[in-house]
Amino acid sequence: MGDFDWSVIQRSWGYLFREGMTFTLTLTAMAAIGGTILGTLLAMMRLSSHKWLSLPATGYVNLMRSIPLLLVIFWFYFLVPYIGAWLTGSSTPVKVGAFASSFITFTLFEAAYYSEIMRAGIQSIPRGQIWAGYALGLDYWQTMKTIVLPQAFRNMLPILLTQTIILFQDTSLVYVLSITDFLGAASKVAQRDGRLVEMYVFAAVVYFVISFGLSLLVKRLQRKIAIIR
């Protein structure tokens, strides 16, 4: 292993973390928040008794879950400019850029997965509580907001966070759009300095430490929540 130069990590530290990891974490956080909100709405639509609400939501979730994330990334990279043109009434596709496009893609894609989790969470609340809410004179939104969703969210928190760890790992796929996320930064340094081994091993270690650390925290949280219940 003598010809490896690990100092390349130290030299590119600022670029890797201040630029790359910042983007990775921002994308993860924004997609997690946006995905959870949109996913919760999708779950509520799916559980609705109105067919015109439940069918499109079911179709959307099943479609997103049956195609690879990479294909979705490519889809939206080309589709979003056309949607932008349609929304703004412009005659030419709107330039959105790889950054905005990846935020939109991950939010819309992860929403399908978060929605399945939230659906299970909502269904885990006994029906009687919803009827009790109606009996108290609350309307649908009030019942959801004050009774069902807070409990569903708390019950599902460990699973939502586990999904977020998966999302954190999945953001590495923006590599195909040549975005400088953490892996993108590592890859650019690797190509520039011809240090593929060092940079990719280091990237693997960093992803492992963060994902494994977070998964230990989730396990701890799970035990805590189990006691409260």
Partner 1 sequence: MNYNWNWGIFWATSTDGVHTWFGLLLSGLAWTLFVSFCAAVIALVIGSIIGIIRTTPNKWLVGLGNAYVELFRNIPLLVQLFLWYFVLPEVVPKGLGDAIKAMSLPWASFVPAVIGLGLFTSARVAEQVRAGIQALPRGQRMAGTALGLTLPQVYRYVLLPMAYRIILPPLTSETMNLIKNSSVALTIGLIELTAAARAMQEFTFQVFEAFTAATIIYIVVNLIVVNVMRIVEKRTAVPGFIGPAVGGGGH
Chain residues in the site for partner 1 (CB under 8 A): 1, 63, 66-71, 74-75, 78-79, 82, 85-86, 91-93, 169-170, 172-173, 175-176, 183, 187, 190, 196-197, 200-201, 203-204, 207-208, 211-212, 215
- Smallest distance from the beta carbon of 135 to partner 1, in angstroms? 34
Rounded Cα gap, residues 106 and 128, in angstroms: 36
Smaller CB distance to partner 1: residue 133 or 184?
184
Smaller CB distance to partner 1: residue 130 or 161?
161
For 95, the 3-state DSSP assignment is coil
Smaller CB distance to partner 1: residue 130 or 197?
197
Smaller CB distance to partner 1: residue 136 or 216?
216
- Smallest distance from the beta carbon of 118 to partner 1, in angstroms? 18
- What six digits make up the tokens of 115? 């929605």
Rounded Cα gap, residues 78 and 98, in angstroms: 10
- What six digits make up the tokens of 35? 């995905």
- Smallest distance from the beta carbon of 129 to partner 1, in angstroms? 27
Which of 75, 166, 171 shows the shortest CA–CA distance to 116?
166
Smaller CB distance to partner 1: residue 43 or 165?
165
Smaller CB distance to partner 1: residue 151 or 169?
169
**DSSP H stretches of helix in the chain:** 7-11, 13-14, 22-46, 51-66, 69-88, 97-123, 127-135, 140-143, 149-170, 182-193, 196-228
Contact by Cβ (8 Å): 99, 111: no
Q: Residue 67: CA atoms inside 13 Å, Cβ hemisphere, count?
A: 13
- Smallest distance from the beta carbon of 145 to partner 1, in angstroms? 32
207 by Cβ neighbours in 10 Å (0-12 / 13-18 / 19+) ranks as middle
Smaller CB distance to partner 1: residue 49 or 92?
92
> 78-94: buried (b, 16+ CB within 10 Å) or exposed (e) per residue?
ebbbeebeeeeeeeeee
Measured in Å, how far apart are the chain's first and last C-alpha atoms? 52
- Smallest distance from the beta carbon of 123 to partner 1, in angstroms? 17
- Smallest distance from the beta carbon of 182 to partner 1, in angstroms? 10
- Smallest distance from the beta carbon of 60 to partner 1, in angstroms? 13
